[in-house]
């Protein structure tokens, strides 16, 4: 046993069990009693009461008059947030499919959540030779096109908070080497409205990314990536323009929705 293992009764184990209980509720089984939950997990009722009390304190569950528990009012805004997250997928997917068809290269939709770069949707290359998928990361150092785009168009206060966490990593010979150079690069990206990454994160891989704006904030981006021998110098200008137009079209379509 190493020092990282969670001990029984710790905050993490309590939170994990509370989440397990929350996940029991479904459309087919909207109400559970304490006895049923205790039997399901083979745990004492007194222990289950403690977990239920924690969930009740956050209004994630409520007790009905018959002594059963159902999901509480706090679930509804969480569900609305989840639906909002899927709205961009519905809007963006046809545009991403068109970009994928046009060039046959891998296309990915990313979202920035705090200092994390989260892939929401990925369409693999249509070519027989494909690149191994590598998730873009802002931390410890933004070298991928997606992570640079998401950082360049983040609100200034969030950008500065992320800067304080960055540690330069030289992934390849072309990776930006310092925070000063990164800041300059991000200013250029912000001015141009796109990122072109030439083997900065992985050797032999080029990528292009452009921001998608929600209420003026570049919280999402679309990225197209592929091998050096297919994303050639001759093709890069038209690829950049097409990726930019794709991101812009998604932004405009989102304005017309209730997102």
Helices and strands per DSSP (H, E), number in the chain: 8, 8
What total of structural domains would you count in the chain? 2
* Percent with pLDDT over 70 in the chain: 88
What does the pLDDT read at residue 257? Answer: 76
What does the pLDDT read at residue 4? Answer: 37
- Secondary element (H or E) of residue 214: strand 205-214
Q: Does a structural domain hold residue 231? A: yes
What does the pLDDT read at residue 248? Answer: 97
Contact (Cβ atoms closer than 8 angstroms) between residue 230 and residue 105 = yes
Residues 105 and 56 placed together within one structural domain of the fold: no
Position 118 pLDDT exceeds 70:
yes
Sheet holding 116-123, edge to edge: 116-123, 106-113, 217-227, 205-214, 195-198
What mean pLDDT value characterizes the chain? 88
Position 78 pLDDT exceeds 80:
no
Q: Does a structural domain hold residue 209? A: yes
Query: Residue 240, Cβ neighbours under 10 Å: how many?
Result: 19
Position 84 pLDDT exceeds 90:
no
176-181: long-range contacts at Cβ-Cβ below 8 A with a sequence spacing of 24 or more?
176/143, 176/200
Q: State the average pLDDT over residues 103-109.
A: 97
Residues 126 and 173 placed together within one structural domain of the fold: yes
Contact (Cβ atoms closer than 8 angstroms) between residue 126 and residue 101 = yes
Q: Which of 73, 101, 117 corresponds to the end of one domain? A: 73
Q: Residue 142 sits in a domain of what CATH number? A: 3.30.450.40
Residues 33 and 137 placed together within one structural domain of the fold: no
Q: Does a structural domain hold residue 59? A: yes
- Which residues, listed in sequence order, are joined to residue 226 by a DSSP beta bridge? 206
Residues 51 and 156 placed together within one structural domain of the fold: no
- Secondary element (H or E) of residue 195: strand 195-198
13-39 tens-digit pLDDT: 667 888 899 999 987 899 999 999 999
What does the pLDDT read at residue 136? Answer: 73
Q: Residue 48 sits in a domain of what CATH number? A: 1.10.10.10
Three-state SS for 225? strand
Closest CA to 70 of 42, 14, 29: 29
Q: Does a structural domain hold residue 202? A: yes
Q: Does a structural domain hold residue 4? A: no
Position 6 pLDDT exceeds 60:
no
Backbone angles phi, psi at 184, to 5 degrees: -65, -40
Q: Which of 73, 99, 119 corresponds to the end of one domain? A: 73
Task: Tell me how far apart the alpha carbons of residues 14 and 2 are, in angstroms, rounded to a whole number.
Answer: 20
Q: Which two tokens stand for residue 242?
A: 């097409």
Q: Which of 73, 99, 122 corresponds to the end of one domain? A: 73
Domain extent at residue 162: 82-255
Residues 91 and 180 placed together within one structural domain of the fold: yes
Contact (Cβ atoms closer than 8 angstroms) between residue 117 and residue 138 = yes
Residues 202 and 173 placed together within one structural domain of the fold: yes
Q: Does a structural domain hold residue 2? A: no
* Percent with pLDDT over 90 in the chain: 68
What does the pLDDT read at residue 258? Answer: 55
User: Parallel, antiparallel, or unpaired: how do β-strands 195-198 and 106-113 relate?
Assistant: unpaired
Q: How many CA atoms lie within 13 A of 67 on its CB side?
A: 6
pLDDT confidence band for 8 (50 / 70 / 90):
very low
DSSP 115: T
Q: Does a structural domain hold residue 3? A: no
> In sequence order, which ranges of the chain are alpha helices (DSSP H)?
11-22, 34-41, 45-57, 75-103, 145-152, 156-163, 179-192, 236-255
Residues 40 and 164 placed together within one structural domain of the fold: no
Backbone angles phi, psi at 22, to 5 degrees: -60, -35
- Compare 83 and 212 and report the one with higher pLDDT: 212
Backbone angles phi, psi at 9, to 5 degrees: 85, -5
128-179 tens-digit pLDDT: 877 766 667 899 999 999 999 999 999 999 999 999 999 999 999 999 999 9
Residues 195 and 213 placed together within one structural domain of the fold: yes
Residues 64 and 110 placed together within one structural domain of the fold: no
Residues 63 and 188 placed together within one structural domain of the fold: no
> In sequence order, which ranges of 123-235 are alpha helices (DSSP H)?
145-152, 156-163, 179-192
Residues 106 and 60 placed together within one structural domain of the fold: no
178-228 tens-digit pLDDT: 999 999 999 999 999 999 999 999 999 999 999 999 888 899 999 999 999
Residues 171 and 232 placed together within one structural domain of the fold: yes
Q: Does a structural domain hold residue 171? A: yes
pLDDT confidence band for 62 (50 / 70 / 90):
very high
């Amino acid at each position: 046993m190493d020092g990282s293992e969670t001990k029984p009764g710790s905050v993490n184990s309590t939170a994990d069990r509370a989440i397990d209980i929350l996940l029991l509720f479904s459309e087919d089984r909207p109400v559970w009693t304490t006895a049923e939950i205790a039997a399901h997990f083979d745990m004492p009722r007194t222990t289950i009461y403690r977990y239920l009390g924690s969930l009740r304190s956050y209004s994630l569950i409520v007790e009905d008059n018959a002594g059963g528990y159902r999901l509480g009012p706090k679930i509804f805004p969480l569900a609305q947030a989840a639906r909002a997250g899927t709205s961009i997928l519905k809007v963006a997917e046809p545009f991403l499919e068109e970009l994928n068809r046009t060039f046959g290269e891998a296309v990915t939709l990313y979202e920035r959540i705090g200092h994390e770069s989260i892939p929401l949707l990925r369409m693999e290359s249509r070519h027989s030779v494909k690149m191994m998928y590598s998730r873009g990361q802002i931390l410890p150092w933004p070298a991928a096109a997606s992570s640079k785009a998401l950082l360049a168009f983040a609100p200034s206060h969030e950008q500065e908070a992320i800067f304080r966490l960055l540690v330069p990593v030289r992934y390849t010979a072309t990776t930006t080497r310092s925070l000063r150079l990164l800041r300059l690069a991000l200013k250029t990206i912000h001015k141009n409205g796109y990122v072109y990454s030439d083997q900065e994160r992985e050797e032999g891989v080029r990528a292009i990314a452009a921001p998608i704006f929600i209420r003026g904030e570049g919280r999402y981006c679309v990225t197209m990536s592929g091998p050096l021998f297919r994303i050639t110098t001759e093709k890069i200008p038209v690829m950049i323009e097409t990726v930019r137009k794709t991101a812009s079209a998604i932004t405009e379509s989102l304005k017309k929705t209730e997102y």
